[in-house]
Amino acid sequence: MSEHIIGVLDDIPPGEGRAFVLDDRQIAVYRLRDGGLRALDAACPHHGGPLADGLVDAGVVVCPLHGRAYDLATGAEAGGGPPACAHTVVLDPDGTMRVTLATG
């Protein structure tokens, strides 16, 4: 597992996601409207859709290509399909965001 500083909280508007390349992997980081942060692999496991561009609501992101919903905490697909890999995001007191990549 590796940790990366990806920027500051204000880099991601509330209710949206942004894609980052970390260790040659594309990772989508989401800033939830309740102030939480979540991260998943950026490519939808279904057909590679851009999850960072998906709609975020009620703890899920919906892939913009085929409407598959992924739990932002676990990466589980709502219909039981292949999950997206979930990663850990930490917000430092100074507003810096750090992502720790999960293996897989």
CATH number at residue 7: 2.102.10.10
With cut-offs at 50, 70 and 90, classify the pLDDT of residue 104: low
Give the model confidence (pLDDT) of 27-64 as tens digits. Answer: 999 999 998 999 999 999 999 999 999 999 989 999 99
| Strand stretches in 1-104, DSSP E | 3-8, 16-22, 25-31, 37-41, 55-57, 60-62, 69-71, 86-91, 96-100
Split into its structural domains, the chain has a count of 1
Question: Domain residues for 38?
Answer: 3-100
What is the pLDDT averaged over residues 92-103?
A: 96
Quote the pTM value.
0.94
Q: Name, in order, each residue with C-beta under 8 angstroms of 79's C-beta and a sequence gap of 6 or more.
A: 68, 69
With cut-offs at 50, 70 and 90, classify the pLDDT of residue 103: confident
End-to-end Cα distance, the chain: 10
